[in-house]
Copies of this chain bind each other. A is one copy, B any other.
Amino acid sequence: MFQLDLKSRKTIYEQIVDNIKELIITGILKSEDKLPSVRELSKTLTVNPNTIQKSYKELEHQGYIYTVSGLGTFVSPPREIIYDKKNINEIKSRIRNDIKELLYLGLSLDIIKDIVNELFEERSDWK
């Protein structure tokens, strides 16, 4: 399904959340698909079940998945994903700061644009 990077500064639980989000966004996991059970994923990732549990709860909270007790956990239909203007502005502001920092490091605007376009390329195939 995906791999964890223990050396990353990200928490394991954050990585799981991000990875599953990514799988949903990219369409690898589709609406109403069943996610692996907590125990199952716990085994395949060799990670404490509590950690998986917590990740699922977070994803549920964010609207990406839902749980039917006794049946399992499933991917939510797309419409339920939260669309939040405040949130978008926060992210925009973070990107603004990163651009500033790159400029400060001596990169030219053109080079920075290239870098960002590179990032867009990474995504351009699947959406």
List residues of chain A with CB under 8 Å of any chain B CB.
6-7, 11-12, 18, 21-22, 24-26, 61, 66, 68-71, 74, 76, 78-84, 87-88, 91-92, 94-109, 112-113, 115-116, 119-120, 122-124, 127
Contacts and interface: CB of A to CB of B under 8 A. Distances in A.
Contacts of A80: 7
A117 B115 CA distance: 13
29 contacts: A6-B68, A7-B66, A11-B69, A12-B68, A12-B70, A21-B100, A24-B104, A25-B103, A26-B100, A61-B61, A83-B105, A84-B84, A87-B105, A88-B107, A92-B119, A95-B98, A96-B119, A96-B122, A98-B98, A99-B119, A99-B120, A99-B123, A100-B123, A103-B123, A103-B127, A109-B120, A109-B124, A109-B127, A112-B120
